[in-house]
């Protein structure tokens, strides 16, 4: 799932966890001045024959500073077109006292099921707008549908701005699993683990 599909899965997972459009006043959102993400790791978690897979993903530096600069490259492929509706099932776990605890879905944050990941992408990048850089430069799509084929994001630089996070998501070790499906058939699965530290 080339750069586009790769980033689609990643954006969908990230958007599901940190979806900026959600009204989260009950979460006591706070603007994080200095945030570090370290120990970022990922792997495919689907069956060997799932159509959408992430082949490579490299992020630097480690730790990743937010706000700050990020360098990323990725490759992937999908053997089928990825078109709406694409359901996304997210499981978010946080390590607490040595045990992994599932974070419940509250106000569309946490371990949630989303009816259509394409809608999430449309909220992040409204239809009619150009895809953000560097996707635009490389001619990569940023919203559904994603045609079958291979995708590649050459090493590219991004700036990560300040973020607002729920108080419970500002420090700790996390695991996130995202399963993309269509009409009950699993299309791809990605697991991400990372540590978040802020002050």
Task: List pLDDT tens digits, range 2-42.
Answer: 333 434 444 433 433 333 333 333 444 555 568 899 999 99
Task: List pLDDT tens digits, range 114-129.
Answer: 999 999 999 989 998 9
CB-based contact 90:177 (threshold 8 Å):
yes
Cis status, amide bond into 75, omega within 30 of 0: no
Task: List pLDDT tens digits, range 1-13.
Answer: 333 343 444 443 3
Work out the percent of the chain whose per-residue pLDDT is above 70: 83
Tokens 């992937």 map to which residue?
A: 76
CATH of the domain at 108: 2.70.220.10
The yes-or-no verdict on residue 66 having pLDDT over 60 is yes
Q: Going by C-beta distance under 8 Å and a sequence separation of 6 or more, which residues neighbour residue 180?
A: 9, 12, 52, 82, 86, 87, 88, 117, 186, 187, 188, 189
Q: Which domain holds residue 99?
A: 3-198
47 phi/psi in degrees, rounded to 5: -65, 160
DSSP 146-169: B-SEEEEEEEEEEEE--EEE-GGG
Instruction: Specify the number of domains making up the chain.
Output: 1
Q: Going by C-beta distance under 8 Å and a sequence separation of 6 or more, which residues neighbour residue 49?
A: none
Question: How many H-runs (helices) and E-runs (strands) does the chain carry?
Answer: 3, 12
């Amino acid at each position: 799932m080339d750069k586009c599909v790769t980033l689609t899965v990643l954006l969908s997972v990230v958007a599901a966890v940190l979806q900026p459009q959600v009204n989260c006043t009950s979460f006591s959102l706070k603007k994080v001045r200095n945030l570090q993400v370290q120990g970022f790791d990922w792997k495919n978690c689907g069956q060997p024959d799932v159509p959408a897979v992430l082949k490579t993903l490299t992020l630097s530096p480690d730790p990743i500073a937010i706000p700050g600069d990020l360098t990323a490259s990725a490759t992937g492929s999908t053997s089928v077109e990825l078109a709406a509706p694409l359901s996304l099932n997210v499981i978010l776990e946080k390590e607490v006292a040595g045990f992994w605890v599932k974070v419940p879905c509250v106000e569309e944050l946490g371990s949630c099921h989303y009816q259509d990941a394409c809608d999430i992408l449309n909220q992040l990048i409204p239809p009619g707008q150009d895809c953000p850089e560097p996707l635009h430069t490389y001619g990569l799509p940023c919203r559904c549908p994603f045609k079958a084929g291979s995708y590649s994001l050459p090493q590219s630089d991004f700036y990560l701005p300040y973020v607002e996070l729920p108080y419970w998501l500002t420090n700790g070790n996390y695991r996130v699993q995202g399963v993309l499906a269509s009409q009950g058939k699993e299309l791809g699965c990605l697991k991400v683990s990372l540590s978040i530290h802020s002050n």
